[in-house]
Amino acid sequence: MKIGILVTGDVAVRAAHSLAAHPGVDEVVVIGPARSKSFVVVPDAEGCDYLVGTGEQAPERAREHGVPLIWDGDRHQPGVAVYGAGPQGLTLAMSSREPDPQLVAVAHPALEAGSDHRAQFPAPVGSVGVADTSFAGKRLATGRSPNSYAACLSVGAGRNVTIIDHGAFMSGISLAAGVAVANGEERAVWDDALHYLHAVTEMGLVMAEED
């Protein structure tokens, strides 16, 4: 599989490094104009199976190249193969494997602060004010981490499940792992949560549980 990286920010660059080490990816290139010390820069997406990018402009850029996109956005878009490939989507994928999640929440330094109530994340994130929001129409409490770490949390009647890591590292891996659920049809990462979660753990994130 050949993956093209749209230069849309630090998260996409981090995703490129995660993809370069993934056994299912044969080649990673950067779509120019750009400069890269780590990857070959190419003028177009010829030969790429998928593109990876972030932000509102990424779908349009992918359509211009005619190659399906792995994206961190929260909705269906023409030309997008996989969406939700970010910390919010990772949280929803994790909670989708739980039988009865009572609280589904994410804290990340790039998210806005919330004030609806407080969610208790494991250290080093701790107690965070969260807002009751939705992501792709799914209930999700979101808040700003007080430090550089991020945390995904699913609290159920029987157990709590969480993923904690450096926020930028989590964002890069959750984007990169979207390639694991790409199957030629437009879908969200939680539509194939098992393969997605397997990919993020292969790339370095650790999921922990507490009964």
The CA–CA distances, whole Å, from 108 to 63, 90, 122, 134, 201 equal 30, 12, 13, 16, 19
The Cα 64–Cα 85 span in angstroms is 21
Sorted by sequence, the CB contacts under 8 Å of residue 77 that are 6+ apart come out as: 59, 69, 71, 83
- The CA-based dihedral angle spanning residues 171, 172, 175, 181, taken in that order and rounded to the nearest 10 degrees: -120
Phi-psi region of 58 (alpha: psi -120 to 50; beta: other; left: phi over 0): alpha
Rounded Cα distance between 105 and 136, Å, is 14
The architecture in CATH of the region 2-84+170-205 reads: 3-Layer(aba) Sandwich (3.40)
pLDDT at 124 over 80: yes
Residue 177 and residue 162 in contact, taking contact as beta carbons nearer than 8 Å:
no
For residue 120, pLDDT beyond 90: yes
Structure confidence by residue, pLDDT tens digits, 70-102:
999 999 899 999 999 999 999 999 999 998 899
Residues 6+ apart with CB under 8 A from 206: 163, 164, 165
pLDDT, tens only, 7-19: 988 999 999 999 9
- Scanning the structure block, which residue is given the tokens 């494997």? 97
For the stretch 51-63, pLDDT in tens is 999 999 999 999 9
Flag whether pLDDT at 4 surpasses 80. Answer: yes
Say whether 64 sits in a helix, a strand or coil: helix
Question: Is the pLDDT score of 142 beyond 90?
Answer: yes
pLDDT at residue 211 greater than cutoff 80:
no
Per cent of the chain over pLDDT 90 is 88
Give the model confidence (pLDDT) of 131-140 as tens digits.
999 999 999 9
Share of the chain above pLDDT 70, in %: 100
Q: Kindly list the domain boundaries of the chain, sorted by start residue.
A: 2-84+170-205, 87-167
- 35 has pLDDT over 80: yes
Give the predicted TM-score (pTM) of the model.
Answer: 0.95
Give the pLDDT score at 95: 96
pLDDT of residue 48: 97
Alpha-carbon distance of 40 to 63, in angstroms, equals 22
